[in-house]
A and B are shown apart, each in its own frame.
Chain A
Amino acid sequence: MELRKYEKQNISPDVPDEWFVPLIKRNSEADVVVRPSLSYWKDSWYRLLKNKLAMAGMVFLVFLTILAIFGPMISPHSIETQKLTMQNLPPSSKFWFGTDDLGRDVFTRTCYGARISLFVGLMAALIDFLIGVVYGGVAGYKGGRTDNFMMRFVEILYGLPYLLVVILVMVVLGPGLTTIIIALSITGWVGMARIVRGQVLQIKNYEFVLASKTFGTKTARIIRKNLLPNTMGPIIVQMTLTIPSAIFAEAFLSFIGLGIQAPHASWGVMANDGLSTILSGYWWRLFFPTLFISLTMFAFNVLGDGLQDALDPKLRR
């Protein structure tokens, strides 16, 4: 009885009869991929472009590079020219950043400082990259006892305070640009090696690597074709963050008198010189080099952060 009542409802009056025909479906309809898929790098690149702070950092670094290369050319003054009649002049149309106590142009010296900072940062990152990737790659790929032994060594180095080691090495090697880079590289690669090893260990057991192994592909080729492209993200981030710490270390060393020596100009040296005259009110001598150190480190840090976010596969949407 009751069921009859339900059945009576089973006609919906506002739906026309002719719609009750089988739906002709295209085969693919159920499987349409809704959003276009981007490649990993393209996707990351777009996300980086959207990060305003990281973009600002990138723009500043391009500007700084141009300044480092062409700055001394457009400046009418040379880095070493001492004009004792023009000591400690404030910034003006002739001396854009003022002059120091020997009458040298602070703008020209700042440009040279940019050369040194960028050079030190890039070289340190490059050397860390080369040593770290090889060391970490081998440790991670070989695994077992080799890995254990190699990582024990890394742990010891990692425990040492970075700057203290650099200072000691600088004391032994003596000041200078080359020795700074050597000193920075002695323990600097350790972080990179750890990251690469971790990545390699993680990826090594993925099926696609196993697959190429079963096809008898050579080790070197597996590293080059499979492992490196997949570990590139964290490596790039690590390199971007190595640069500011190297720049800081150089400025720090030069500031305490262990780094670049006169007549070469480094931001650290200029800051130290400027500090001694701070009570005399020559603010520009301290202001410009320290501003450039801070801006440069800031730019690299935000770019590194942006890259980290952009390259993180977990954050992909």
Chain B
Amino acid sequence: MKTYFFKRLIAMIITLWLIITGTFFLMHSVPGSPFNEERTTNEQIQKNLESYYQLDKPLLVQYGNYLMALVKFDLGPSIKKSSQTVNDLLGRGFPVSFELGFYTLIVAIISGITLGVVAALRHNGIIDYLSMSIAVLGISIPNFVLATFLIQQLAVNIPIFPVATWSSPKHMVLPILALATGPMAIIARLTRTSMLEVLTQDYIKTAKAKGLSPVKIVFKHALRNALLPVVTVLGSLAASILTGTFVIEKIFAIPGMGKYFVDSINNRDYPVIMGTTIFYSAILIFMLLLVDLAYGVLDPRIKLHKKEAK
């Protein structure tokens, strides 16, 4: 178990390093200096700026310095927002984004699994068709479209919820709803398919032959096995929720990381783009590790594999 964990840790660090390197050289391959757009600055100021941001040094030296700073969790200064570092922005934006993403994930998982299980148990019934129609709609309607629709209906036409910012639970309803629907739909469909498959398994027949009640069969024997494939997609769902926060935060004017990220893209604030990308990647890689561990807990077959390896 321990050796497995260390192996995973090393693989994580290598992947992260690849991402950092890729991002760094991608960002520095953009032609021109980021200060060219500001025509008011004269050449001297521009040179001073470039030396402040170390842009005058050879690329490899810059890369080395960047890596050294990263080890100390220093993502460098922002170019466009003077006197602010990338760490400042992340420190302010991350708690908000985390809240949004976390609640979204919880809502998506709970509602998605419920919908999928109910649909599977009422296979080919009205509830099945209804929940699967909701699911296909949820997959088809882009989150930013849903967000605009929700604003139009529930904030403008019938003003139940506030339109923007992130200050009270009431403010959180629409963004979370907009962001959670897609992942929920994916989870619901996956749960349904996998539940239907599990329900035809022999061990379900065995459980029935033991005289267990349907409730016990579903919750004790079917659900856990049906959720295994759902757990495997949680990593990529987290990724899609994360990219979803970009637009959702932009639309609802939520002061999160995603908003800073989109702003930095529009401003060509390369250190911020780079820093946020790396931060996002680190979170995602960590999520994937969590998912793997969760899978190991849910499926006893995995543990044995490791024991044998030891």
Contacts and interface: CB of A to CB of B under 8 A. Distances in A.
Contact of A161 (B30, B250, B265, B280): B280
B151 A278 contact: yes
Contacts of A244: 140
B247 A256 contact: yes
A82 to B, nearest CB: 24
Contact of A293 (B145, B240, B243, B251): B145
Nearest to B185: A301
Given A161-B242, A256-B250, A294 B151 contact: no
A255 to B, nearest CB: 5
Which one of B27, B148, B247, B288 has the highest number of Cβ atoms from chain A below 10 Å of its Cβ?
B148
Interface in B231-273: 236, 239-240, 242-243, 246-247, 250-251, 262, 265-266, 268, 273
A67 to B, nearest CB: 18
A156 B18 contact: yes
B145 A161 contact: no
A149 to B, nearest CB: 16
Contacts of A255: 144, 247
A305 B186 CA distance: 13
A275 B147 CA distance: 10
B141 interface: yes
Contact of B148 (A169, A275, A305): A275
Contacts of B262: 256-257
B265 A256 contact: yes
B29 A172 contact: yes
Nearest to B151: A278
Main SS at interface, chain B = helix
Contacts of A162: 239, 243
A168 B266 CA distance: 12
B142 A171 contact: no
Contacts of A164: 239, 242-243, 277, 280-281
Contact of B15 (A156, A169, A274): A156
A298 B265 contact: no
A275 B248 CA distance: 12
Nearest to B238: A161
B68 interface: no
A195 interface: no
Nearest to A163: B243
Given A164-B280, A286-B148, A257 B266 contact: yes
Contacts of B277: 164, 168
B127 interface: no
Interface residues of A, number: 36
A290 interface: yes
Interface string B135-164: 011011110110011011000100000000
A248 interface: yes
Contacts of B285: 159
A144 to B, nearest CB: 22
Contact of A294 (B19, B26, B145, B284): B145
Contact of A159 (B15, B26, B251, B265): B15
Contacts of B149: 290
Interface in A280-317: 283, 286, 290, 293-294, 297-298, 301-302, 305
B200 to A, nearest CB: 12
Contacts of A298: 136-137, 140-141
Contacts of B281: 160-161, 164
Contacts of A159: 15, 284-285, 288
A280 B288 CA distance: 44
A278 B26 contact: no
A301 B136 contact: yes
B60 to A, nearest CB: 19
Interface in A20-36: none
Contact of A301 (B15, B140, B239, B240): B140
Contacts of B251: 275
A162 B144 CA distance: 17
24 contacts: A53-B136, A156-B15, A159-B15, A159-B288, A160-B19, A161-B243, A161-B284, A164-B239, A164-B243, A167-B243, A167-B265, A244-B140, A248-B142, A252-B142, A255-B144, A257-B266, A271-B145, A286-B152, A293-B142, A294-B142, A298-B137, A301-B136, A301-B140, A302-B136
The 8 closest A-B pairs by CB, nearest first: A298-B140, A161-B239, A163-B243, A297-B140, A290-B145, A294-B141, A301-B140, A256-B262
